[in-house]
Amino acid sequence: MATVYLGLGANLGDRRANLDAALAALRAHPRIRVLAVSSFIDTAPAGGPPGQPAYLNGAACIETDLEPQTLLEECKRIERALGRTGGGPRWGPRPADLDILLYDQRIVDEPDLVIPHLGLRERRFVLVPLAQIAPDARDPVTGLSIRELAAGVEESG
């Protein structure tokens, strides 16, 4: 079984209800076990079209035997079930966003999947919730702990 950390976000509709529904879908999956969920934080959109609503962001730790690509497909299925449609602007508004942040200590570089997640090291809205549930988890690229990465982002604003 792999230990995986997911980023959770929503900025359309009832954001909290959307994230709770995403977590319920993860819990209902027979090959996924949700081990921990961070608190949720309100954050301004990072990029994307101007005028978007604020995001509600958090992180979850799961255990699964799904391979990264299969887990990505499951996350996308959950997003679609919650109303996310394709074809919108990059970093545009969405009712649910599930990102694979870390998958054990694996490094994946495929056209549709990069692990660790590309924004992991720079995004406060990813690192702060992740540090709540996995402060000692390590970025397999830099070797730094999530606590160290979060401290660096907090110091730089």
3-state secondary structure 29-48: CCCEEEEEECCCEEECCCCC
Question: What distances in angstroms separate CA 106 from CA 67, 131, 140, 152, one per listed residue?
Answer: 11, 19, 7, 23
Identified catalytic residue from 94, 121, 123, 139: 94
DSSP H helices in the chain? 15-28, 68-81, 124-133, 146-156
pLDDT band at 155 (very low <50, low <70, confident <90, very high): low
Joined tokens for residue 86:
């394709």
pLDDT of residue 85: 84
Q: Which CATH class is domain 2-152?
A: alpha beta
In this prediction the pTM is 0.95
Q: Residue 123 catalytic? A: no
Please write the tens of the pLDDT for every residue from 35-67: 999 999 999 998 888 889 999 999 999 999 999
Please write the tens of the pLDDT for every residue from 90-131: 777 899 999 999 999 999 999 999 999 998 999 999 999 999
pLDDT of residue 157: 45
Please write the tens of the pLDDT for every residue from 66-85: 999 999 999 999 999 999 98
Whether 144 shows a pLDDT value over 60: the answer reads yes
Q: Which of 13, 59, 60, 16 is nearest to 35 (CA)?
A: 60
pLDDT band at 135 (very low <50, low <70, confident <90, very high): very high
Q: Residue 65 catalytic? A: no
Half-sphere exposure of 39 (CA within 13 A, CB side): 5
Identified catalytic residue from 80, 90, 99, 112: 99
Q: Residue 112 catalytic? A: no
Identified catalytic residue from 15, 84, 121, 123: 84
For the chain, the domains span: 2-152
Q: Residue 94 catalytic? A: yes
